[in-house]
């Protein structure tokens, strides 16, 4: 019988071919399983990526509306992009905020632009992790604990009252935003740190702040160059202050128990727990963290009150009730601030609609797996406040101003103007007191209205009212 040898060969080789074929399939499946799935999104042009789109939207204070939201629509709540030279994953939503913020030090670490690190100082709290971070949080936390706050309240009251008496009394028109900036600056320096504000200090600090998010290019005349020069001036001034304080403390003229944050930091220095540079970098950082954030929060609270007369009426009544229980000229106490529940709801709602901080950057310190996607090690992660604050899922009718929504429990990590996790704002309590006390004295002493109700809010990189929010004022007592 004729036997086709090719058939014989085929039947002999068949099991071998089958084994090779199935092994190939298995290998392919394994590889696919190991292959990491990056989040969807466009990386834009080589190197610059989508930086221009990001900055243009930011300048118009439309970062969420023009940059983030269209990409959420196209790619979903977690998308990749490339900004400022770094591949970046933008995450939105309470679950994603929680995942990223609570995994600080484990999966991610805080990641500030080079210009911010150079100007704030490489030894400031935002650059620290583990023990040093815990130590600095402890020092700030003790100063802002209940006993510390009790002492702070009358000091803040005196600062606000003095400021209004010397700068608003007899005036018809003032810049609300400028006032809040001057006040928050002196409150951080004098009430929290215990350092006297000297003439010109605010301007020098403002020059540093102007460069904090500008490109770290040091050519004469550039923002960053000016900021670096201002930082040197500040350093010289702070070195003198810190050494004087150290001498006083070593000679037992002053104890760390005077409650002031600078004394506590200098005490740590004497004990060898922190260096002089760490003290100085953290003083600069605290001013940066407190200044523009609290100022814009107060300004937007007033803007919302002007636009919502019913809310203003209710808030005013809260303060009149508190005032009626005080003797003439008596300062507020911490207990009085606890009776400002509605005012705090108004301020919180203003910060929900206009969060002073858009969000912030982290860096993945390992490959991160989240919802079936991989954020590769070394990539940046940007979490946002707007991603939850403007989302119907967390806040019903999100674009309406409704302070009473804070009577209900809010899902954790949905309301995040102060961030969350181990890096939750360390000055939250001070910011709250600053806002409540300022509102109290203004609304009980003055009638006021906005001169430009439609004034645009710009961003550079924090939001601010473009005209300084001028208001017409008239004293209630003349
Ligand atoms: C309305 C006012 C304020 C807002 C909206 C605000 C917001 C924030 C946010 C969002 C963070 C977290 C940043 C991140 O996760 O990368 C933060 C951190 C921080 N804030 Fe505030 N802040 C305010 C006022 C203040 C004040 C008054 C102080 C100090 C006296 C302060 C001190 C700090 C510090 C030291 C950190 C760093 C915490 C750390 O790294 O552990 N903040 N703030």
Of the candidates 346, 339, 338, the one whose C-alpha atom is nearest the C-alpha of residue 310 is 346
Of the candidates 49, 19, 105, 26, the one whose C-alpha atom is nearest the C-alpha of residue 423 is 105
Ligand 1 midpoint to CA 418 (Å): 6
Tokens of 318: 């809260």
Q: Ligand 1, residue 104: give the atom nearest the CA.
A: 15
Pairing of strands 470-475, 173-175: antiparallel
**Where does the pLDDT of residue 241 fall: very low under 50, low under 70, confident under 90, or very high at 90 and above?**
very high
Q: What pLDDT is attached to residue 12?
A: 54
The CA dihedral of 221, 225, 228, 230, to the nearest 10 degrees, is 10
Query: What is the average pLDDT across 305-324?
Result: 98
3-state SS of 260-319?
Answer: CHHHHHHHHHHCCCCCHHHHHHHHHHHHHHHHHHHHHHHHHHHHHHHHCHHHHHHHHHHH
Ligand 1 midpoint to CA 267 (Å): 23
Q: What is the DSSP letter of 357?
A: S
Name the residue at shortest CA distance from atom 20 of ligand 1.
425
Domains of the chain, by residue range, sit at 36-121+358-416
**Where does the pLDDT of residue 18 fall: very low under 50, low under 70, confident under 90, or very high at 90 and above?**
low
Higher pLDDT, 462 or 275: 275
Q: What pLDDT is attached to residue 47?
A: 86
Ligand 1 midpoint to CA 184 (Å): 14
Reduce the DSSP state of residue 39 to 3 states and report it. coil
Q: Report the binding-site residues for heme.
A: 425
For ligand 1, pick from 293, 353, 383 the residue to mutate: most ligand atoms within 8 Å of CB: 293
**Separation in Å, CA 71 to CA 38, 79, 185, 325, 333:** 15, 7, 38, 53, 47
Tokens of 317: 């009544």
Ligand 1 midpoint to CA 426 (Å): 6
For ligand 1, pick from 209, 296, 425 the residue to mutate: most ligand atoms within 8 Å of CB: 425
Name the residue at shortest CA distance from atom 6 of ligand 1.
418
Tell me the per-residue pLDDT of 409-466, one tens digit each, with 9 for 90 and over.
999 999 999 999 999 999 999 999 999 999 999 999 999 999 999 999 988 778 999 9
Of the candidates 76, 96, 137, the one whose C-alpha atom is nearest the C-alpha of residue 413 is 96
User: For residue 260, is pLDDT > 50?
Assistant: yes
Q: What pLDDT is attached to residue 10?
A: 46
Helices 130-143 and 261-270, packing angle to 10 deg: 140
- For residues 283-310, b (16+ Cβ closer than 10 Å) or e, as one string? bbbbbbbbbbbbbbbbbbbbbbbbebee
Q: Ligand 1, residue 419: give the atom nearest the CA.
A: 10
Q: What pLDDT is attached to residue 232?
A: 96
Name the residue at shortest CA distance from atom 38 of ligand 1.
423
Name the residue at shortest CA distance from atom 28 of ligand 1.
427
Ligand 1 cavity residues, CB under 6 Å = 110, 125-126, 137, 188, 192, 286, 289-290, 293-294, 297, 356-357, 360, 417-419, 423, 425-427, 430-431
Q: Ligand 1, residue 416: give the atom nearest the CA.
A: 10
Name the residue at shortest CA distance from atom 11 of ligand 1.
425
Q: What is the mean pLDDT of the chain?
A: 91
Q: Report the binding-site residues.
A: 425
Q: What is the ipTM of this complex?
A: 0.99
Tell me the per-residue pLDDT of 416-427, one tens digit each, with 9 for 90 and over.
999 999 999 999
The hierarchical CATH code for the domain 36-121+358-416 is: 3.30.43.20
Ligand 1 midpoint to CA 359 (Å): 11
Name the residue at shortest CA distance from atom 42 of ligand 1.
427
Tokens of 99: 């995942």
Q: What pLDDT is attached to residue 217?
A: 85
Q: Ligand 1, residue 424: give the atom nearest the CA.
A: 12
Q: What pLDDT is attached to residue 23?
A: 55
Report how far residue 202's alpha carbon sits from residue 186's, in angstroms, rounded to the nearest whole number: 9
Report how far residue 377's alpha carbon sits from residue 36's, in angstroms, rounded to the nearest whole number: 12
User: For residue 92, is pLDDT > 90?
Assistant: yes
Name the residue at shortest CA distance from atom 2 of ligand 1.
294
Ligand 1 midpoint to CA 430 (Å): 10
The gap between the terminal CA atoms of the chain, to the nearest Å, is 126
Helices 309-324 and 341-353, packing angle to 10 deg: 150
Q: What pLDDT is attached to residue 4?
A: 45
- Sign of the CA dihedral running 412, 414, 420, 424: negative
Ligand 1 midpoint to CA 425 (Å): 4
The percentage of the chain sitting over the pLDDT mark of 70, rounded to a whole number, equals: 91
Q: Ligand 1, residue 361: give the atom nearest the CA.
A: 16
Q: Ligand 1, residue 355: give the atom nearest the CA.
A: 5
Q: Bridge-partner residues for 174, per DSSP? A: 471
Q: Ligand 1, residue 110: give the atom nearest the CA.
A: 16
Tell me the per-residue pLDDT of 100-138, one tens digit each, with 9 for 90 and over.
999 999 999 999 888 899 999 999 999 998 899 999 999
Name the residue at shortest CA distance from atom 27 of ligand 1.
290
Cis amide leading into 77 (omega within 30): no
Q: Where are the alpha helices (DSSP H) in 168-275?
A: 176-186, 201-211, 223-250, 261-270
Query: What is the average pLDDT across 222-245?
Result: 95
């Amino acid at each position: 019988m004729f036997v086709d040898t090719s058939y014989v060969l085929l039947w002999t080789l068949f099991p071998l071919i089958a084994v090779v074929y199935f092994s190939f399939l298995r290998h392919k499946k394994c590889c696919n399983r190991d292959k990491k799935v990056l989040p969807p999104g466009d990386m834009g042009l080589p190197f610059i990526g989508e930086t221009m789109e990001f900055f243009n939207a930011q300048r118009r204070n439309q970062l969420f509306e023009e940059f983030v939201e269209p990409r959420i629509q196209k790619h979903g709540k977690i998308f990749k992009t490339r900004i400022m030279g770094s591949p970046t994953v933008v995450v939105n939503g309470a679950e994603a905020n929680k995942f990223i913020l609570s995994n600080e030090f484990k999966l991610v670490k805080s990641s500030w632009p080079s210009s911010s690190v150079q100007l704030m100082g490489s030894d400031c709290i935002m650059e620290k992790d583990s023990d040093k971070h815990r130590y600095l949080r402890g020092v700030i936390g003790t100063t802002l604990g209940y006993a510390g706050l009790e002492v702070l309240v009358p000091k803040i009251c005196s600062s606000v009252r003095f400021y209004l008496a010397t700068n608003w009394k007899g005036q018809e028109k003032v810049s609300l935003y400028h006032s809040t900036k001057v006040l928050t600056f002196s409150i951080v320096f004098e009430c929290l740190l215990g350092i006297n504000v000297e003439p010109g200090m605010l301007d020098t600090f403002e020059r540093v702040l102007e460069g904090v998010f500008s490109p770290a290019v040091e050519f004469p005349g550039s923002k960053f160059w000016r900021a670096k020069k201002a930082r040197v001036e500040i350093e010289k001034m702070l070195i003198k202050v810190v050494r004087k304080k150290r001498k006083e403390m070593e000679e037992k003229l002053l104890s760390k128990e005077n409650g002031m944050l600078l004394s506590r930091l200098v005490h740590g220095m004497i004990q060898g727990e922190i260096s002089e540079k760490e003290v100085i970098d953290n003083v600069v950082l605290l001013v940066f963290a407190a200044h523009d954030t609290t100022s814009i929060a107060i300004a937007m609270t007033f803007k919302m009150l002007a636009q919502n007369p019913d809310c203003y009426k209710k808030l005013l009544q809260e303060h009149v009730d508190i005032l009626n229980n005080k003797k003439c000229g008596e300062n507020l106490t911490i207990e009085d601030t606890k009776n400002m529940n509605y005012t705090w709801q108004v301020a919180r709602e203003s910060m929900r609609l206009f969060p002073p901080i858009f969000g912030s950057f982290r860096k993945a310190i390992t490959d991160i797996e989240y919802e079936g996607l991989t954020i590769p090690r070394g990539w940046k992660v940007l979490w946002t406040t707007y991603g939850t604050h403007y989302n119907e899922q967390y806040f019903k009718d999100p674009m309406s101003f409704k302070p009473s929504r804070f009577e209900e429990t809010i899902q954790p990590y949905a309301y995040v103007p102060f961030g969350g996790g181990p890096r939750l704002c360390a000055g939250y309590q001070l910011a709250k007191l600053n806002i409540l006390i300022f509102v109290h004295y203004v609304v009980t002493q003055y009638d006021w209205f906005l001169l430009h109700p439609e004034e645009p809010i710009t961003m550079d990189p924090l939001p601010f009212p473009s005209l300084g929010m001028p208001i017409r004022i008239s004293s209630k007592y003349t």
